[in-house]
């Protein structure tokens, strides 16, 4: 079976010596290795301030806190995403307001977001779903016109670009995930990218119980709620090794995604995703819309190809209490959306097998 997702780790002969160096160093908690990982990630993304944490979910929670989101507020978000995007909003005590998606892309529709803005709206959560950048120009204009901060969930979009700049540079708060099956894994972990030093210093305090690690215990005085969200040296060491080969991890997704775009564009029954102008996807998942989806998924499985719609649309979870949501484009998109394998593990014959299987089904 060709898997839909797969963990990408460095070769044993490279990773294990690096891990041994940290594991038997006498210090495995958050330390200099974490600092080095953050610095190297900044260099890759092209920003100045990055704070590593134990998960992408933790990064989202800190971003929401920094944006000033509190209990009783509203955050506009997308229903098409992994659940932590929106459960992190609930952690603050705020309410999730789901806006509709653009049927062409599956990403949040800025026009519908504007319709959902109220006096209670304190942030907008965007997701570059499956590695496809949203209409960043439109959301930057909303941020400017309405004074509402945009939080960028880039868990799927490592290596993607918009206007020739890597995702992670376009908004005040950007988050990444290094969970097991993402473009780059540190086994588990995440990163919060920020624009200014003030937020950077606050984020470091929030991730460590509300304590300032530059001060002694006696000097410290907790003035804000903090959490145990930090990354340790072991995960950071894996991250450093991964960053040494980051293009080998990310580039195959992009190469395979472009290959499938070309091969599927003229197949009746298949509609490829339309990308926004100036965007360069990183194709964490190859997403397309298909006719007879359930039968298609079964047919692909019979051919040894794992295919799935993966995430349940979030507004259907009762915890969000969103029964009144009118999301007609989300309805239409999720009925046809499907993902096929696209990552670094695909060999040339795997890509050919997938294309031929799709063509056979719709012939």
Tell me the sheet residues that pair with 340.
286
Burial bucket for residue 211 (CB in 10 Å: 0-12, 13-18, 19+): middle
Q: CA quadruple 13, 18, 24, 28: dihedral positive or negative? A: negative
Q: CA quadruple 305, 311, 316, 319: dihedral positive or negative? A: positive
Please give the Cα distance from 37 to 150 (Å, whole number): 26
Catalytic residue among 40, 122, 182, 263: 182
Catalytic site residue 40?
Answer: no
Token pair for residue 42?
A: 């900044």
Q: Are strands 161-162 and 173-177 parallel, antiparallel or unpaired?
A: unpaired
Strands (E), 144-196: 150-153, 161-162, 165-166, 173-177, 190-194
CB 156 within 8 A of CB 131: yes
Catalytic residue list? 182
């Amino acid at each position: 079976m060709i898997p839909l997702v797969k963990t990408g780790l460095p070769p044993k002969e490279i990773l294990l010596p690096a891990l041994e160096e940290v594991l038997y160093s006498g210090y495995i908690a958050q330390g200099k290795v974490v600092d080095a990982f953050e610095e190297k990630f900044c260099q890759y993304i092209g920003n100045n301030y990055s704070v590593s944490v134990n998960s992408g979910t933790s990064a989202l929670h800190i971003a929401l806190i920094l944006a000033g989101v509190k209990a009783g507020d509203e955050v506009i978000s997308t229903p098409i995403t992994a659940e932590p995007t929106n459960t992190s909003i609930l952690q603050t005590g705020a309410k999730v307001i789901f806006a509709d998606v653009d049927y062409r892309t599956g990403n949040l529709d800025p026009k519908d977001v504007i319709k959902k803005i109220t006096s209670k709206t304190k942030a907008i959560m965007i997701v570059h779903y499956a590695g496809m950048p949203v209409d960043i120009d439109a959301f930057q204009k909303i941020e400017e016109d309405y004074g509402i901060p945009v939080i960028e969930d880039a868990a799927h979009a490592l290596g993607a670009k918009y206007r020739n700049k890597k995702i992670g540079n376009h908004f005040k708060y950007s988050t990444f995930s290094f969970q097991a099956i993402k473009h780059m894994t540190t086994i588990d972990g995440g990163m919060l990218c920020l624009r200014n030093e003030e937020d950077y210093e606050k984020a470091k305090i929030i991730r460590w119980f509300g304590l300032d690690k530059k001060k002694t215990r006696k000097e410290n005085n907790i003035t804000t709620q903090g959490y145990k969200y930090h990354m340790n040296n072991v995960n950071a060491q894996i991250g450093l090794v991964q960053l040494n080969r980051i293009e080998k991890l990310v580039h195959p997704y992009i190469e395979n995604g472009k290959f499938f775009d070309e091969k599927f564009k003229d197949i009746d029954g298949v509609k490829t995703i339309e990308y926004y102008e100036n965007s360069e996807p990183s194709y964490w998942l190859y997403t397309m819309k298909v006719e007879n989806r359930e039968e298609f998924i079964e047919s692909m499985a019979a051919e040894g190809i794992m295919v799935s719609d993966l995430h349940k649309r979030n507004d259907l979870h009762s915890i969000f209490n969103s029964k009144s949501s009118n999301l007609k484009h989300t309805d239409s998109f999720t009925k046809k959306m499907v993902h096929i394998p696209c990552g670094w593990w695909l060999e040339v014959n795997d890509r050919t097998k997938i294309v031929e299987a799709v063509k056979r089904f719709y012939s």
